[in-house]
Structure 1
């Protein structure tokens, strides 16, 4: 192999190792038998996984995060798909403006969004409630759905819808029989990203969750602040595995999407 081939491959390998190293360290520490965070572990075992599944606090936060993320998926997928369909039918100038506004939560620092949401929700008693978390996370998740559905809509030949309408199909029938099947992969990918966004989100949870609705990332943050133990490494590993599985599903859906 020539230097021209070896050097890029080596650089890519080093970058991947650099990015993966923190994840590998956390996963190894999660199997430690020690009562404190240490690397490398003195011995290996499943002690901290058993501690996680035996803890009511950890499990309560996990189920809350799953429930909130599932609710966000429903809301964000519905709103994001409708928004993408509406944007696709706007004139070009308005389309650019509408897209910029919808994608603004991805551009503006999350802490700025969190502060704005906190002050808005505090007036209506939504701070510290699951409903407040769901609405706040939906604000972050909708742009991912819009982006994914827009990509699917861009690959649809508009003549298909026109042909269906010319043959007597109603707009509703055309959507469910023509448009929706074609954009389904984009909708599902957007839904997966909405779930990941909500399940892993911390900053907004710090502002909105309060003591009555502590999500899993918030519980992990509190554990790091007040009692550092390897349980958090076990929780982190489970979260990493779930995220990787969902990202893999999103990749498969994109690969199988009609072109």
Structure 2
């Protein structure tokens, strides 16, 4: 009895120690953001401390002027389109790799996730020459295809992790009751792995929305995205508007992470146990 109480006490101490270190690391990583956050509310036209005054002018500029709204619109168009395609391809690839056994399966998997391992500058150069040969440079088609290639591995890995706990006997049960493969997919498999699919889609969208290196190589003036606009601002005219955009993107990332955590917990509750 005493030993059990001692273990409970030790476990409680370890739990609070882990919480303390986690919060400490979070604060450490957030310090740079906290340091520049006040500048986004500056009334001055330059990045400076101490602040001359406080104003929302830079948030208003970001949310109302074409210089920022058009790149934001382009980022959303490319991000949504590439996410839809990447989600379909990544989900189907994950299902195929988990349901089939064949020689070279590991090699195929490695090739599918290789865009994550290849340095971004190498991918950007390869895509640039590829689209130049097809006369597709400086088009939305090239941007969507490129971001689809970059986002698909994240969907594949996320859905593949979800399928590790999936009970494939449910598919056999559906087939034995007369359901077609398509009906089994949409009525049994997808509802159960949907949190993983949505999580992968959010990762793909975040990758597309934040990507700048490939966009610099293959995008034209009409396809300029929000990260490209920020990058241009750093080179040409540094204003607190860039900090305001960074704060909005940080808030957007926090929302995405919250949704991902909610979906992860929901997936754990819904997923049948594999025997």
Q: What stretches of structure 2 of length at least 5 have no aligned partner? A: 1-9
Listed one character per residue, the Cα deviations across residues 69-89 of structure 1 (whole Å, up to 9, x for unaligned) are: 011111111111111111112
Q: Does 1:184 align with 2:184?
A: no
Listed one character per residue, the Cα deviations across residues 7-31 of structure 1 (whole Å, up to 9, x for unaligned) are: 8766544432321112223322111
* Equivalent residue, structure 2, for 1:256: 266
Counterparts of 1:28 and 1:132, CA distance in 2: 38
* Equivalent residue, structure 1, for 2:149: 139
Listed one character per residue, the Cα deviations across residues 203-255 of structure 1 (whole Å, up to 9, x for unaligned) are: 11111112231000000000000001111111111111112111211111111
Residue among 71, 80, 94 paired with 1:61: 71
Counterparts of 1:92 and 1:32, CA distance in 2: 60
Confirm or deny: 8 A CA contact 1:25 1:39 kept in the other structure: no
Counterparts of 2:153 and 2:100, CA distance in 1: 17
Listed one character per residue, the Cα deviations across residues 113-142 of structure 1 (whole Å, up to 9, x for unaligned) are: 111111101111222111111111111100
**TM-score (normalizing by structure 1):** 0.93
Residue among 207, 221, 233 paired with 1:197: 207
Within 5 Å, give how 1:116-135 maps onto structure 2.
116-135=126-145
Larger radius of gyration: 2
* Equivalent residue, structure 2, for 1:227: 237
Listed one character per residue, the Cα deviations across residues 19-59 of structure 1 (whole Å, up to 9, x for unaligned) are: 11122233221111111012453322201111222321211
Residue among 80, 83, 100 paired with 2:110: 100
* Equivalent residue, structure 1, for 2:248: 238
Within 5 Å, give how 1:85-96 maps onto structure 2.
85-91=95-101, 93-96=103-106
Aligned-residue Cα RMSD (Å) equals: 2.1
* Equivalent residue, structure 2, for 1:41: 51
Q: What stretches of structure 1 of length at least 5 have no aligned partner? A: none
Greater alpha carbon shift after TM alignment, 61-70 vs 92-101: 92-101
Residue among 42, 65, 69 paired with 1:32: 42
Q: Does 1:109 align with 2:89?
A: no
**TM-score (normalizing by structure 2):** 0.87
Counterparts of 2:21 and 2:107, CA distance in 1: 40
